[in-house]
Amino acid sequence: MKDTQALKDFLQTPRKIVITTHANPDADALGSSLGLHHFLIRQGHDVSTIVPNSYPDFLEWMPGNPLVINYEKSKEAAEKLLSDAELLFCLDFSGFGRIKGLKEAAMSSPAKIALVDHHLNPEIQPDFNFWNDQSAATAELIYDLIVEFSGKEAIDAGIAECLYAGIMTDTGSFKHPSTTSKIHRMVAELIDLGADVNKVSRLIYDTNSLHRLKFLGHALAEKLKVDEGSRVAYFVIGEEDFKDFRLKQGDTEGLVNYALSIKGIVVAAIIIQRDNEIKLSFRSIGDFAVNKFAEEYFGGGGHKNASGGASDLSLEETEKKFKELIEKDILKTHIK
């Protein structure tokens, strides 16, 4: 769904614009936001990018990173920008519950809303809609939006690298079923436009701290649990793990994929306790629709093969609930 012409008409006049994305921003969230930020600035608009909270160190290389406003650290400034905004871009999330403490300020803003997202069942009712659940990444949608507005020449090397980072990570380095021929053609264009894909890949995947590598070894040796009968593997990571290994934001990113890589496993999960919250992430192969499972049992959702949820139980009780669901073969009822 695209409201390209309507948004184009609205942006004929210089506007005060705020771009925001979901809590705990990943490469697609931040790359999409900064890619769009640079484009709109060059169109003559007054643009601010606000994130609900911090993001991993390995994303700080992105052009424009110093311009990003962390709501948890600059609440008054962020709220003032939202109260003055004429247009609010909501990127890579489909419900205001995903932006945590920023929710109230965003919902009370007088700004018109532009939704750019690829997640299922959007809750936001935008003035300008760029939602498509068939897209592999929000960065793909931002690429299309920029090209439709101003052509490929509006994408410089910095924008290209931001968008490439989002596409690369949300497709699992081009391994997920969402990796289409269109994605490969788009990535080829981004390379031609100046994206240094080797640099981007290295900065995101090959900048591990020693603490993270030691944690990874510990998690694989001590925390990985496998139920071969149900073809499910999962990790349970508690607060003590974060303390013992001095983990930072993003250090558990990608861990669930090791569980899914085990031969014969079709569903993987990670249950994480941090800052008095219990979060779950699910991954699957083929026809197992973990988004439906996450929605029904853990109040979450997402994509068919990649989703998440939360639990208000203790870590031990959450694991017990998950194990009981596995033992009852509940996951098999979510084959799509």
pLDDT value of residue 336: 61
User: What gap in Å lies between CA 59 and CA 41, rounded to an integer?
Assistant: 21
Burial 188-201 (b: 16+ CB within 10 A, else e): ebbeebebeeeebe
pLDDT value of residue 179: 95
Tokens describing residue 114: 């532009």
Q: What is the DSSP letter of 61?
A: T
pLDDT value of residue 172: 92
Decide: helix, strand or coil at residue 269: strand
Domains, the chain: 4-204 (3.90.1640.10), 210-334 (3.10.310.30)
User: What gap in Å lies between CA 231 and CA 153, rounded to an integer?
Assistant: 48
pLDDT value of residue 150: 96
Which residues in the chain land under pLDDT 70? 1, 335-336
How far the first Cα of the chain sits from its last, in Å, is 24
pLDDT value of residue 202: 97
Inter-residue contact 30 to 200 (CB < 8 Å): no
Pairing assessment for the beta strands 277-284 and 267-274 based on DSSP bridges:
antiparallel
User: What gap in Å lies between CA 243 and CA 255, rounded to an integer?
Assistant: 17
pLDDT value of residue 217: 97
Residue 13, phi-psi category: left (phi > 0), alpha (psi -120 to 50), beta (remainder) = beta
Q: What is the DSSP letter of 20?
A: E
